[in-house]
Structure 1
Amino acid sequence: MNQAAPPPMRQMWHPPEDPDHGKGPGCNPSGEDAYGACAARAFGPTIELPAADAGPVHPGQEGDAMSTLADLDTPFLVLDRDRMDANLARMRRHAERLGVTLRPHLKTVKSVPAAQRVLGDMANPATVSTLQEAEAFAEAGCTDMIYAVGIAPAKLPRVIALRKRGVDLAVVVDNAAQVDAVCAASRDAGTPIPALLEIDSDGHRSGLRPGDPQIVALGRALAEGGAELRGVLTHAGESYGCFTLSEQEALAAKERDVATGAAEALRAAGLTCPVVSVGSTPSVHFATDMTGVTEVRAGVFTLSDLVMAGLGVGGLDDMALSVVATVIGHQPDRGWLITDAGFMALSRDRGTAQMPVDQGFGLVADLDGRPFGDLLVLKTNQEHGILGMREGSAAPLPELPVGTRLRIYPNHACATVAMHPSFAVIAGGDEIVETWPIERGW
């Protein structure tokens, strides 16, 4: 088999571990290039995380033999627990240095056993993107959650049901119709529903614009209408389009300033604003000052992906997620290999398409996780993946016979996870040590 050597990965800047970080030779964290500002980094010790108390389904075993990545029918989803633990430890240390609470976004892992590992203690704060996630995590003991999608009025009965079970679930609003519905539901239930006002910090999607008088008007309507004004929330989605360190740091500072400015406007009007919540993985990762912010929300850092690598948030060795596929055919005249992992296994996310390095629908590696140079998933059909060399590559197409198993690193971890029923969990090797069910639906 002719296996091309992996291309060199760009080196990534990471938040300083201590005040002296970056003062040594060859390291310049203040430079413009978010990929190459520091030539080396140390992960530091991996923290001890509690084993999941409930939920994991252990893989089937034949005699005393543990299942491996060579045994399960493809395609299937792999989670490297050791890499996830290292990602968690690094983000926790960073949040501690910033002096803010980490409220992980569990939409990335969408799994009770994974959430238990991410949170450590299920009583710790969490973020969810569906009420189905909230219900599943509440059943496992999670009692402090923000449902970080603008609330649809028809979903409020499910919110109230969770709150009556002792779950402190807060919702997000940015318009009068939502506020009216939350207040009416609170009055009808006889219990105030906590709501955060969503603020638009960068024009990416939803939220009230900075300085909008509606921020105070809607805050007052919540406080006086039977609900609870819990605070403000923003998401710097434009951080996914910043490719230098200075751009990322500037956007993180803007996100902070917009959120704290809205909080100050509420307080100046005599209203309370206990929570100032910001975050995306890139904006949290590159933040250097979170004065006035109470908590950060980030999710994709747990598993990482090719988009995060392209932004300088991590490297290939931080990616805890991959899809195992099998070569099922060849189209030599077109320079293609065909696999059994199409968009139903990888998703159709093309998050790297507008980045400095386009990774197609995924970067292809051998079963040990070592990339085949410039081999990408070029196209996807429902159940077929079409592999070929990156445009402009001089490397030959690897000789991979039918039946060869591959691992594919995805563009967007959250989207890929949502395509699968479970994780095959490994711990740095190829043995599947656990199977973690994934929560699907809304």
Structure 2
Amino acid sequence: MKNTPIDYNTVSKAIKESGHECVGKASIREIKFLIDTIEKKSGDKFVRMEMGIPGFPASKIATDAEKQALDNGVASLYPNIDGVPELKTEISRFVKNYINIDVSPKACIPTVGSINGNYGTFMVAGRMDEKKDTVLFIDPGFPVHKQLVKMLGLKQESFDVYNFRGAKLKEKLESYLKKGNISVILYSNPNNPTWICFNDEELRIIGELATKYDVVVEEDLAYFAMDFRKDMSKPGEPPYQPSVANYTDNYVLMISSSKAFSYAGQRVGMMCISDKLFNRDFKRLLNYYSTSNFGHAVAYGTLYATTSGVTHSAQYGLLALLKATNNGEYNPWEVVRKYGERARKAKKLFTDNGFNIVYDTDIDQPIADGFYFTISYPGFTGEQLLEELMYYGVSAISLSTTGSEREGLRACVSFIADNQFPQLEERLKKFKENH
């Protein structure tokens, strides 16, 4: 039996009983369940790095506003399908203040988490043109997006962007678009899981090609303004969050309240559709909806039929957060900037003990310190490494589940407490000693 920080037999038994032929291929939630089981049976706590869950409490600005809304009686009233009017106005202000783009309140729609906005966009954009039945993922990415596309019966293609950064992105991206079957391009920026950040040259390439081939771009801004190499936290002042919205009118932005605002539990995201796309008509949509209008089909066709609007009180919580942020009275990035500090410390502990950073550069500069980073260890595939680290009380997810072509793991820093860094160091030293 091996001498490992977590009892070897306990971990082995839990893995066997999980029923997974290969634990490294398990989903994020399945990994979480397995680690919960091992912690309960062993009595030992893991350094949890598998789930991208906010590690800070929600602001009282939001929770107090939500309580007030409940006291005012919103619980007995259906919310508007496309959102509380005041919230729509603040979302419009937010993208003007922090991206420097103009989107009318009409085209700013709260959704039940960003994933609900993804669902609505995939559903409508995938039905606009019978020839365009495929979603293109610029990988690595969030595994659930692909699950959504599969569930909707759409086709999908993808490529790992790491070897196609900068000007090289144009030829690679166009090789897919020129086939004429792509309805949507999806990527995240900053990227989950690698934390690479597209620059303006790359966003221009994506935007101009989307216009040329009339493809919708879904830009996932879950980690809004969290490239901490630049301070994007001042409303109405540059630098702004980089966005494809500067280079095409064929965009749908998905903005999460979960990470920058630590409001994950209330499941309220923001979808911003360009005014031009929102108002466009596609005759084929009449086969599925009562309208040919893109924006109406998203809000009153798809979102109405799936969620019937976002929980009323949660919208007032987000409204208060955005209003305070837009007015310069609250800076959520002062809180979440600590993720970058945690990442810097954690990466050093891993690299000091023989691990490598997989996605280590942003073209010509070191990768930023943020919510995620990627690791590998010589002689291990990502799936093997994930399982082996369980015996050392460290959890993560395999890059193979994200569309990456490289071996390794995604590690999230949000749940690492300050007092766990010595324990993480001790466990990684033991791992190095044993390997």
Same fold (TM over 0.5): no
By relative contact order (CA 8 Å, sep 6+), the higher-ranking structure is: 2
TM value normalised by structure 2: 0.30
Structure with the higher helix share, 1 or 2: 2
Structure with the higher strand share, 1 or 2: 1
